[in-house]
Amino acid sequence: MIISLVFLGSNNVWAEEDPKFPNPYREMTHDMVLIPAGNFERGCDQLGPEHGAPRHTVYLDPFLIDKFEVTNQRFEEVMPDHKLRRSRLSRCERCPVAKVTWYEAADYCHLVGKALPSEAQWEKAAGGKTGCEFPWGKEFDPGKGLAHGKKKLKVGAAKVGSYPPNKYGVFDMAGNLWEWVADWYSPQYYFREVMYNPRGPRSGVMKVRRGGAWSDHPNGMKVGYRDWSYPFSRSYSDIGFRCAISLGPQRK
């Protein structure tokens, strides 16, 4: 989904002072953050070709992304049957929804007027200086993201927003739950010279997941780390998602 909006020079892109601006867009985007257009370095050579190499430069048009992972409460407003199968490891209303297939995640985003972010959009929104780092820096900090590491952490997801936001104001981009993104997975795709709004291969078997989770080693929380899962399965208690809106080229 591509929408052209008025840019106000901040992370708030809905023109509340303009009575002609449609109210549904203000409501739809009030919990979203603007990620500006431009080049960024994605990937990490040290992660190897399956998980993030080679590092390369891509350009993205501006887009909006949800501040938070989609919660059980939000998801069940649209798909109420999910309440019968909430993950016991992410059960509260404000906990991120889990045990959803990639297709259910994509359908939810579509029904609320959004879409799953591309893999490139997700990585830029994660906000790290390089793909080899965490959103906050080079060293793992258990106070800034939920994952298994050297310290014993609780088993299960935390409420969304329990940890500090990144530089863009986006929460939980490292740990808590893995997040489905739009792209099919292919280790060869990063070797292609796709430098403008890359969207991944046209087809595949596995879908990409990003960000790491409470169930994994902190290495998966690095900004450039990519992994994959079977898109039809509902069995994952550690994969959730958030939605995005592509804005198209910025008008001058």
130 vs 28, higher pLDDT: 130
pLDDT beyond 90 at 145: no
Radius of gyration of the chain (CA): 17
Asked which of 59-68, 186-195, 243-252 is least confident by mean pLDDT, the reply is 243-252
Burial class (CB in 10 A: 0-12, 13-18, 19+), 7: middle
Please check the confidence at residue 152 and state whether its pLDDT lies above 90.
no
* pLDDT at 115 exceeding the cut of 50: yes
Does residue 9 have a pLDDT over 70?
Answer: no
pLDDT in tens, 117-141: 999 999 999 998 889 999 998 888 7
Domains, the chain: 23-246 (3.90.1580.10)
What pLDDT score was predicted for residue 248?
A: 83
Query: Who has greater pLDDT, 16 or 220?
Result: 220
For residue 28, pLDDT over 90 is answered with no
State the pLDDT at residue 168: 96
pLDDT of 154 reads 62
Per-residue confidence at 10, pLDDT binned at 50, 70, 90? very low
**pLDDT attached to residue 110:** 97
pLDDT at 252: 53
Q: What's the rounded Cα separation, in Å, for the pair 72 and 241?
A: 11
Range 46-84 burial, b when 16+ CB lie within 10 A, else e: ebeeebbbebbebebbbbbbbbbbbbbebbbeeeeebee
Q: What is the pLDDT at residue 24?
A: 61
Q: How many CB atoms lie within 10 A of CB 238?
A: 22
Mean pLDDT estimate for the chain: 87
Q: Give the model's pLDDT for residue 194.
A: 76
pLDDT over 60 (residue 78) = yes
Average pLDDT for 138-153: 66
pLDDT at 214 over 80: yes
pLDDT at 153: 54
pLDDT at 22 (0 to 100): 53
For the ranges 14-28, 99-113, 192-206, 228-242, which has the lowest average pLDDT? Answer: 14-28
